Each structure stands twice: as structure tokens, then as C-alpha cells.
Chains A and B, each alone.
Chain A
């Protein structure tokens, strides 16, 4: 079945550091890929997405590129802020699957001054 693997956390960075959170997936066909973010005490919200190979999703300074050859969708940001501290989830949905998402386990990011 479908699965998503992302790097374990927590990841602790200093403000303005470069961020990479790795995500790889296993799925048949051509899934859509997502990054969701969960701030403390809140529900998940969409950060960015990509629906086909080589697409780049971007939002709020975060980027991720859909790499079919490596089945990856790594999240990057050039300069993190304290306000980026949250849990980040990589997820996929199959075409025609009714938007059902398969999630990774989540990666907690802590950004310190």
C-alpha cells in the first residue's frame, strides 16, 4: 500500500539557519504530494503541494520539488524563523482516491534565537 517516510525529529535549528526535512514515498501511479504544518494547539493546515513530477510547491518561503525518480518531496527553507516552530507532515493522495491522505509520522521543528 501507499506509505510516506519522513525524517524523525525533533529538529532544532538556530534562527536564519537552512532547513531540510526529508520525505520519501511509496505509491503506485502518480500521487499528489503535500506538506501540512501543525502549529501548537492547532489543526493541520496546508503549507504547499505538487501534483505532478518536477512540480515545485512553494509558500511562506518553504519549497518542495516532486521528484519521481527518487520518489521524494523534501521540504526546504533558506532561513527559518522562531515562528516556523511546528510539526511538519508530508502526505500523499492518489488520483481518484477522493482526497484521502496518507501521512508521514511528522517532524517537529524547533527554532531558537
Chain B
């Protein structure tokens, strides 16, 4: 089983719908991140959390919200999806004992907003 699991892997929705992308990890890491990937733009940070009580905005947080339900779970919500939120979304984790600075990524959630 993957250490960082994202659900759903693929989702097609309509403009205005609420969408939640979920991320869970079994690595025991305290830090979790949400990135989006767009062709030609690389990955950009949406939100990050260094522990359950710590939530921080990244460079492109507008239109998104997050919830850190537990150390192992970090969800990303789009309250009212719009077409330019069509992208590939990645959850990542880091930290823990022997932290080397490496981020560990999930396999991604492809979201299409029509």
C-alpha cells in the first residue's frame, strides 16, 4: 500500500459544485502539503500544515480551503469549483524522525471542472 494515499484519483465535476480531495499518510510525518500541477507551470503550493493545529496558506490559496482532521489526514476543498481549477493535485508529507527535507508525494488527484 502507498504511504501517501489520495482519493479520488480522478474526478469530473461541474462549475459551482463543492469538491473535497482527501489525503492520508502512514509515514508518521507531521507536515503535510497540497500542491497543484499545471502544464508549463510546475507545482505550486496551495496550503500546508506543520501539525494538526497549524494551517498556512501557500502561494495560490484563493478558492481553496483545507482541514487537518488528524496527524495522518489532510483534506483540500473547493467550495465552488470553477474551470480554471482543473488540474492535477498532489498531497505531500515530510518531517518525522531523521527528517532529510524530502517530500513524499501521493499519486495525484486529477480534477476536471466543466
Please determine whether A99 and B40 come into contact, CB atoms closer than 8 angstroms.
no
A102 to B44, CA, bound (A): 7
A78 to B43, CA, bound (A): 28
Query: B101 at the A/B interface (Cβ < 8 Å)?
Result: yes
A34 to B101, CA, bound (A): 10
A-facing residues in B63-114 (Cβ within 8 Å): 90, 92, 94-95, 99-103, 105-108
Please determine whether A105 and B102 come into contact, CB atoms closer than 8 angstroms.
no
Please determine whether A100 and B33 come into contact, CB atoms closer than 8 angstroms.
yes
Query: B12 at the A/B interface (Cβ < 8 Å)?
Result: no
Please determine whether A49 and B102 come into contact, CB atoms closer than 8 angstroms.
yes
* Chain A residue, CB-CB nearest to B105: A43
Please determine whether A99 and B103 come into contact, CB atoms closer than 8 angstroms.
yes
* Chain A residue, CB-CB nearest to B99: A99
With an 8 Å Cβ cutoff, the count of chain A residues facing the other chain is 22
Within 8 Å by CB of B101, from A32, A102, A104, lies A32
A102 to B95, CA, bound (A): 17
**Given A98-B31, A99-B94, also A42-B101 (CB < 8 A):** no
With an 8 Å Cβ cutoff, the count of chain B residues facing the other chain is 26
Please determine whether B105 and A103 come into contact, CB atoms closer than 8 angstroms.
no
Please determine whether B101 and A51 come into contact, CB atoms closer than 8 angstroms.
yes
A55 to B95, CA, bound (A): 22
Within 8 Å by CB of A43, from B41, B90, B94, lies B90
Please determine whether B103 and A42 come into contact, CB atoms closer than 8 angstroms.
no
Chain B residues whose C-beta falls within 8 Å of the C-beta of A45 in the assembled complex = 105
Chain A residues whose C-beta falls within 8 Å of the C-beta of B48 in the assembled complex = 98, 100
Residues of A within 8 A of B (CB): 4, 32, 34, 41-46, 49, 51, 89, 93, 98-106
Which 6 residue pairs spanning A and B have beta carbons closest together? A43-B105, A103-B42, A105-B42, A99-B94, A103-B43, A44-B105
A46-B103, A100-B58, A103-B43 given; name 11 further pairs at CB < 8 Å: A32-B101, A34-B102, A42-B107, A43-B90, A98-B31, A98-B48, A99-B31, A99-B94, A99-B95, A99-B102, A105-B41
